[in-house]
Structure 1
Amino acid sequence: MIRFALSLILLLAALPARAEVEVKEFTTPGGLNAWLVEDHSIPFVALELRFRGGGSLDPDGKRGVTNLMAALLEEGAADLDAQEFARASESLAANFRYSVNDDRVSVSAQFLTENRDQAVDLLRKSLLQPRFDPDAIARVRGQVTSMISASQTNPRDLVGKAFDSLVFGDHPYGSSLDGTIESVAALTREDIVAAHTAALARDRLYISAVGDITETDLAKLLDHLLGALPETGATLPVTVDPNLPGGVQVIDFATPQSIVTFAQKGIDRDHPDFFAAYILNYILGGGGFESRLMTEVREKRGLTYGVYSYLADKDAAQLWMGSVASANDRVAEAITVIRAEWGRMRNEGVTLEELENAKTYLTGAYPLQFEGNGPIADIAVGMQMEGLPTDYISTRNDKVNAVTLEDVKRVARELMSPEALTFVVVGQPDGLESSIN
């Protein structure tokens, strides 16, 4: 019955959100900074925690340890083994999710108001007192190594790994945060405990909450939940200058369709020209079937089912990336067209009609992201990590609309670099050879 109640509340919480989202920023008595969107219409709270660093904190020779550690946080804690922890969360209708990417460890929690205290106590155990039992380590290690094995025959995984290795080299971004079969097999319980201390610390913590809770109650909750975390964690990775020499690297792999990842240097989220670049990318390859790349590569020439581009703003590097898949006998032409369109946009810019259509879509779609407590909490914690102000939600569309045609054309000339576009291809492409060692 409790689980059904949470499911119903989650459904209600996913209905179109309020037109205005008021974000409060405050500091708890224990010194934790948090953002809160208060909404008492549904007896439900979504809590998002982010710890900066993520898989990039893995020590030398211990690749995959942060990922393994995070996967074990729900596999037993304090006096509860893995099965007992799962039953406890089920009985409380509490949803906990733990994940890792290159730059952060993410913890998401959703719970009913009536079970808030018990749910928070259970979450606290997983964050502060994970058991890391030998049987749980063995089971999760097996799951991770199975995924790594499967990725070795997946062309999309292979192109991602080859691209990262080429572009980022010895930086943590240059290898998979899952680790290798060998590195994961060598990890000890002591390594996992050390990774827990390194990653989950107060000096890299960001917090947002949305739902049926007051500032006073949230402050008390957070100090109880997180106050005993270590004050500092491991040193965060340094920035990296991506290796993007231009040209093509081909990875031979028997498959009828080549998979391609491509990139040039990007732009930092803090840069004053970010919104102009954002709109520029939407017109180029971020706008689905309306984008220029889809028009030129798919619609006019039938070289692919899909091609896209996006701005990738990582903590330690910024890229302007894209992807395409094409038959081996046509992928060389697809790459030629992509590079040519990149150059045409740099030299000619965009039209006023393209700019206005992009603005209309981007400003109209933005409010639809705020569709419930969970998505709002996720967006709010992401805003914090980007250093954005609490009123960004209400001012973002103004920033999009303020971009002029001259801004977009200037940024295209300054930022776009078709000669630096670097393509990594996994497949057996006809007439395409590596020009990058």
Structure 2
Amino acid sequence: MSYFSYSPIFLVGLLVSSLSHAEVVEANGNIELEDSGHLKSLQQLQSLKHLPQYQNDQTPYVQELKNTLGIRSLFVEAQALPIVDIQLTFNAGAARDQYLGKDLYGIANMAANLIDEGTNQYSAEQIANTFEQLGAKFSAHAYRDMFVIRLRVLSDPEKLNPAVNLMLNLISNATFNSSGLNLVLSNTQVGQKQLQENPDRLKNIELYRAIYGEHPYAHPITGTTRSIRKITPDLLKKFRDSLLVAQNMNLAITGQLTQSQASQLTEKITQSLPQGQAVGQLPDADLQPSFNIRLIPYQSSQAYVSIGHLGISRNNPDQLALEVANQMLGGHGFNSILMQELRVKRGYTYGAYSSFSFTQAPGVFNLSYSTRQDQLLDSIQVAHKALVDFVKQPIDTKQLEETKAGMLRSFPMSFSSNANINAQLGSIGFYGLPADHLAQYAKQLNKITAQDVQQAVKKYIHPDRLTIVIAGEPIDQTLLEKMLRHNLDTTHSILP
């Protein structure tokens, strides 16, 4: 929820608490308070029991704004609050770290951390104070695919225009000065040392390296101790000038603007930035041919496990079917197959989960959990067998319908605030999805059948081609692989 939006229940509670003696909300929704302290009718308050019928779960109407330079710009008008959210999404995430040269892992993340640390005109303190005086919030983040700049500001032109101007100034003129760079380098090096004490993160990093090899997704977004030492202010400026350009971005705007005002804002932003050019497509990676078992020595009574392989891209037509399948297999809940097999039935772990990352190039399918070291081999055998059965056995239609119903119930949360809506617009624009993607989601989800899910699972989940990364004590890897191959050969199912 945004800083400036509140639930209906909260607002009713706030109004009630503001009445000096009112402590009762009647069943019909009326509150009465007389001067003597007795309650009198206030018709404008709604009863809590009637709130659901007033809640609006309809998807926002997304407008595709045209602009002179042909840069994709999406807009949702939201007049309820005097706020405007702006997101510039550049195709300049960590996957582009080597755009300027080899082994520059972490340069996108470094640029995001330093972009508001000063220009030739403004110091970092002046930038922070100016945004604060305007009631604006500026942020920049580098993800695996995206470099995202966000601005939230009041819709009053006296606040909006100078905040946008400052944002554009930072993008084009950040100096990435040495003092700021040295501070980030120091903090990153401390973080790298702390990383060695975090087995859960270590195994995830190793999983990506094992699955991707030399692919741009192989390395951590924050870079490595060795790679970040190569980053200089000049390299950061070249990164900015090459990748943080108009033709390499899409624009998302949500808030209290008319379509005409949003179009003018779009023109201003797209024409004020250096134009540059869009980067090319990322290469595909190769699915490993067989099991790949990797051990990260870590002295602990707990072992940390990630099991996965190469997945699919965001634009794959089977993406939604696999999203449903993932919820059934290891979605967050006690009814998922992994949770039932590993926690409920056997007590091997507190929680076991699966996930798909749907990215520009094929992402990762992964299931993960932690367990006691003495239960490690048995737990992996059970988790793998559950995966084998999920691929081989018919999809449980009852679980499928319950899963779809749960996904539909939670879907409105993805656009429950202006900030959430704008983040959705940024993703839609970045991955080239249709403007009515949110409006079509429920319809497409309802159409998913057991056959759709089964076909997608058989096509894209490969229990015989998994990478298994373990952070823990040494194990008999030959025995583990033998157990996994036994799972593939047996016809016995652990599923009910």
* Greater mean deviation of Cα atoms: 232-241 or 115-124: 232-241
* Greater mean deviation of Cα atoms: 69-78 or 120-129: 69-78
Contact 2:65 2:73 (C-alpha < 8 Å) held by counterparts:
yes
**Residue of structure 2 aligned with 1:428, choices 436, 451, 473:** 473
Question: Which residue is 1:192 aligned to?
Answer: 236
SS of aligned partner of 2:76 = strand
SS of aligned partner of 1:22 = coil
Contact 2:314 2:360 (C-alpha < 8 Å) held by counterparts:
no
Aligned length: 430
Contact 1:244 1:264 (C-alpha < 8 Å) held by counterparts:
no
Matched, 1:9 2:4: yes
After superposition, give the CA deviation of every residue in 1:272-330 in whole Å (9 maximum; x if it has no partner).
33322221111111142110100000110000111111111221223321211111111
SS of aligned partner of 1:207 = strand
Question: Which residue is 2:389 aligned to?
Answer: 344
* Greater mean deviation of Cα atoms: 284-293 or 370-379: 284-293
From the superposition, tell whether residues 271 and 124 of structure 1 become closer, same or farther in structure 2 (CA, over 3 Å). Answer: closer
Question: Which residue is 1:3 aligned to?
Answer: none
Matched, 1:395 2:440: yes
**Residue of structure 2 aligned with 1:40, choices 66, 73, 79:** 79
Matched, 1:222 2:261: no
* Greater mean deviation of Cα atoms: 380-389 or 116-125: 380-389
Question: Which residue is 2:65 aligned to?
Answer: 26
**Residue of structure 2 aligned with 1:66, choices 81, 90, 108:** 108
Q: Distance in 2 between matches of 1:29 and 1:360?
A: 43
The amino acid of 2:414's aligned partner reads Q
* Pairing 1:142-181 to 2, within 5 Å after superposition: 142-181=186-225
* Pairing 1:38-437 to 2, within 5 Å after superposition: 38-59=77-98, 60-114=102-156, 115-227=159-271, 228-232=273-277, 235-243=280-288, 245-428=290-473, 430-432=475-477
Identity, % of aligned pairs? 24
Q: Distance in 1 between matches of 2:318 and 2:111?
A: 38
Q: Distance in 2 between matches of 1:133 and 1:247?
A: 43
The amino acid of 1:170's aligned partner reads E
SS of aligned partner of 2:413 = helix
Question: Which residue is 1:4 aligned to?
Answer: none
The amino acid of 2:376's aligned partner reads V
Q: Distance in 2 between matches of 1:402 and 1:326?
A: 38
From the superposition, tell whether residues 233 and 412 of structure 1 become closer, same or farther in structure 2 (CA, over 3 Å). Answer: closer
* Deviation for aligned residue 1:383: 1.6
The amino acid of 1:191's aligned partner reads L
Contact 1:168 1:243 (C-alpha < 8 Å) held by counterparts:
no
* Deviation for aligned residue 1:186: 2.6
Q: Distance in 1 between matches of 2:117 and 2:132?
A: 14
From the superposition, tell whether residues 408 and 164 of structure 1 become closer, same or farther in structure 2 (CA, over 3 Å). Answer: closer
Q: Distance in 2 between matches of 1:78 and 1:120?
A: 18
From the superposition, tell whether residues 76 and 49 of structure 1 become closer, same or farther in structure 2 (CA, over 3 Å). Answer: same
Q: Which runs of 5+ in 1 are unaligned?
A: 1-6
* Deviation for aligned residue 1:395: 1.5
Q: Distance in 1 between matches of 2:71 and 2:459?
A: 41
* Deviation for aligned residue 1:244: 6.0
From the superposition, tell whether residues 299 and 11 of structure 1 become closer, same or farther in structure 2 (CA, over 3 Å). Answer: same
Q: Distance in 1 between matches of 2:56 and 2:89?
A: 23
After superposition, give the CA deviation of every residue in 1:71-94 in whole Å (9 maximum; x if it has no partner).
111112341111111111111111
* Deviation for aligned residue 1:432: 4.7
From the superposition, tell whether residues 8 and 26 of structure 1 become closer, same or farther in structure 2 (CA, over 3 Å). Answer: closer
The amino acid of 1:370's aligned partner reads F
* Deviation for aligned residue 1:430: 4.9
From the superposition, tell whether residues 368 and 244 of structure 1 become closer, same or farther in structure 2 (CA, over 3 Å). Answer: farther
Contact 1:339 1:421 (C-alpha < 8 Å) held by counterparts:
no
Contact 1:78 1:126 (C-alpha < 8 Å) held by counterparts:
no
Q: Distance in 1 between matches of 2:454 and 2:446?
A: 15
The amino acid of 1:251's aligned partner reads I
From the superposition, tell whether residues 243 and 203 of structure 1 become closer, same or farther in structure 2 (CA, over 3 Å). Answer: farther
The amino acid of 1:9's aligned partner reads F
After superposition, give the CA deviation of every residue in 1:37-63 in whole Å (9 maximum; x if it has no partner).
011121101111111131121220322
From the superposition, tell whether residues 435 and 413 of structure 1 become closer, same or farther in structure 2 (CA, over 3 Å). Answer: closer
Q: Distance in 2 between matches of 1:186 and 1:265?
A: 30
Contact 2:353 2:368 (C-alpha < 8 Å) held by counterparts:
yes
* Deviation for aligned residue 1:247: 4.3
Contact 2:408 2:442 (C-alpha < 8 Å) held by counterparts:
yes
Q: Distance in 2 between matches of 1:261 and 1:127?
A: 38
SS of aligned partner of 2:214 = coil
* Greater mean deviation of Cα atoms: 291-300 or 240-249: 240-249
From the superposition, tell whether residues 268 and 238 of structure 1 become closer, same or farther in structure 2 (CA, over 3 Å). Answer: closer
Contact 1:263 1:422 (C-alpha < 8 Å) held by counterparts:
yes
After superposition, give the CA deviation of every residue in 1:328-382 in whole Å (9 maximum; x if it has no partner).
1112111111110111111212222111101111111111221110000101211
Contact 1:43 1:212 (C-alpha < 8 Å) held by counterparts:
yes
Q: Which runs of 5+ in 2 are unaligned?
A: 12-54, 483-496
The two structures have a TM-score, normalised by structure 1, of 0.92
Contact 1:66 1:100 (C-alpha < 8 Å) held by counterparts:
yes
Higher relative contact order (CA 8 A, sep 6+): 1
